[in-house]
Amino acid sequence: MGMRRGMDLFGICLLGTVTALGGGTARDVLLGHYPVGWIAHPEYLTFTIGAAIVTGFIARHLHHLRMVFLLVDGLGLVAFTVIGCDVAMGMGAHPSIVVLAGVITGIFGGLMRDVLCNQVPMVLQRELYATVALFTGVFYVGMLWLEINTTLATLAALGSGFLFRVLAMTFSWKLPDFNGKDIRGLE
């Protein structure tokens, strides 16, 4: 996205870092979970910057692989959601906060990226993205509440969340929008 916005290498690295680490950072700050993940593990920051640089150089040659990028993004969404749930659960948070922490971890980096690029965030539009994160978090926490083995619960949540995202993209499933066209006085 940074290249389409005419950003330089610093801008591309900033966007990549915010996208990859922003959700976990927001979650950690909101939960009071310190040190923040990438501060405790600076290799996350190094890897993210390296990935942004590599992506910046090769993306213009890989535009035909858009679906691959979307699939990888879908995997990242559900994986970060489960990770966020695990962090909050490890802190003893209430199940509703556990799910919310998972959703924040999964979606907030992309939301901040879109804001930095002066776009309405995708998660605030009709796309089933935040809904997939919510589904994944509820499914995962529900499986653990039922005392399903953690590995099985993780794999089931990842698989079902990813399948939901792929089906939503494949069949263009969308949430209804509320644009005010049908509300008197908002014309």
- Parse the chain into domains and list their residue ranges: 2-171
Angle between helix 9-31 and helix 42-58 axes, rounded to 10 deg: 140
Gap between the Cα atoms of 8 and 184, Å rounded:
46
Q: Which amino acid is at 175?
A: L
Let me know: does 88 contact 27? Beta carbons within 8 Å: yes
Each as own residue / partner, the long-range contacts of residues 51-57 (CB below 8 Å, 24 or more positions apart, any chain) are: 51/16, 51/20, 52/12, 52/13, 52/15, 52/16, 52/17, 53/9, 53/12, 53/13, 55/12, 55/16, 56/2, 56/3, 56/9, 56/12, 56/13, 56/16
Determine the pLDDT at residue 22: 98
| DSSP codes, 50-76 | HHHHHHHHHGGG-GGGHHHHHHHHHHH
Determine the pLDDT at residue 34: 96
Determine the pLDDT at residue 6: 73
Task: Please give the chain's pLDDT, 187 residues, in tens.
Answer: 656 667 889 999 999 999 999 999 999 999 999 999 999 999 999 999 999 999 888 877 777 788 888 899 999 999 999 999 999 999 999 999 999 999 999 999 999 999 999 999 989 988 899 999 999 999 999 999 999 999 999 999 999 999 999 999 999 999 887 776 656 665 5
Against a cut of 0.85, is the pTM above it?
A: yes
Let me know: does 113 contact 1? Beta carbons within 8 Å: yes
Determine the pLDDT at residue 187: 55
- Helix (H) or strand (E) segment spanning residue 138: helix 130-145
User: Rounded to the nearest 5 degrees, what angle is found at the Cα of 24, between the Cα atoms of 21 and 28?
Assistant: 135
